[in-house]
Structure 1
């Protein structure tokens, strides 16, 4: 099994991502009513796309051990909370969406990280997380328009 798409089914309850088949490359659970915490540290090594957006997932996000081939991960519109570390994202990652959660703290983005993390079509990477601060962004690296920074009340330390 390489592709699982179960989006828009109104599924409820909790789900474990810890024992997925190793050859799985695509998992889409978007727009259900799934809940509970999820573990992102033991995903299948072949996974290239993960969609968990528009559910009711809670807990913290550990993005430090994602599969090296992961190109896209959408975690938006859930209830994830706490601090998030984006310093060890996979080099192939092109799309990360974590908007409209309850993330807080400071995102310590290393220089160049936003060169390979694409902005989402619906807004800024972490839009809607009112207690989140972005730091270590350098001019010419983070290319978003002013309107894409809406709802980021604590945005600071942009160097020009």
Structure 2
């Protein structure tokens, strides 16, 4: 195997080495052979590096697949756990809301019943008061009518007496009598 090419060693081109090779064909062949050997060595190293890169890429792909699969599984597990937690919390909230709503309905029914009872009691009391007052007003109106009749008769009698008295006085004053 040929020696490894030094990176700091300058590359010689064919054009630069032609002058020395013209003098001797044998030197040209040796140099060409040595350069070809170095090129072959370099190509072998490049092939080895490419093969190693391909192997590394395959390994990276497999690692990436494994990691992606693991991440998906973790994400699915976490998502499932989160869904279960949300469902549990939602169920608990529903139960609390149902309990509170039921208690509120019972309070409303109690308050409505109490208001109805109070309203009925007040309405009944108002009706009784109205009936009493209406009866009282009727009695007063009846007594006022009786008194008005009596007062009318009395006033009418007094009016007639005054009119007769004045007529008699006028008759005496005018000497009609």
Question: Which range, TM-score by smaller chain?
Answer: under 0.3
TM-score, reference length from structure 2: 0.14
Structure with the higher helix share, 1 or 2: 2
Return the index of the structure with the highest Cα Rg: 2
